[in-house]
Amino acid sequence: MQHSTTPEVVYLTSPEMAGLPFSEAVRVGNLLFLSGQLGRDASGRLVPGGIAAETRQTLENIKAALERHGSSLDRVVKATVFMADMNEWAEMNRVYVTYFPQHLPARSALGANGLALGARVEIECIAVVG
Four-way CATH pick for 23-128: 3.40.50.720, 3.30.1330.40, 3.40.50.300, 1.10.1740.10: 3.30.1330.40
Q: Check residue 6 and give its pLDDT.
A: 77
- The backbone torsions φ and ψ at residue 60, rounded to the nearest 5 degrees and listed phi first, read -65, -40
Q: Check residue 60 and give its pLDDT.
A: 98
Q: Check residue 3 and give its pLDDT.
A: 59
- The torsion angle over the Cα atoms of residues 37, 12, 125 and 110, rounded to 10 degrees, is -50
**If you average pLDDT over every residue of the chain, what do you get?**
93
The ranges assigned to domains in the chain are 23-128
Nearest Cα to Cα of residue 97 among 115, 81, 118? 81
What tens digit of pLDDT does each residue of 38-95 get? 999 999 899 999 999 999 999 999 999 999 999 999 999 999 999 999 999 999 999 9
> What does pTM read for this prediction?
0.91
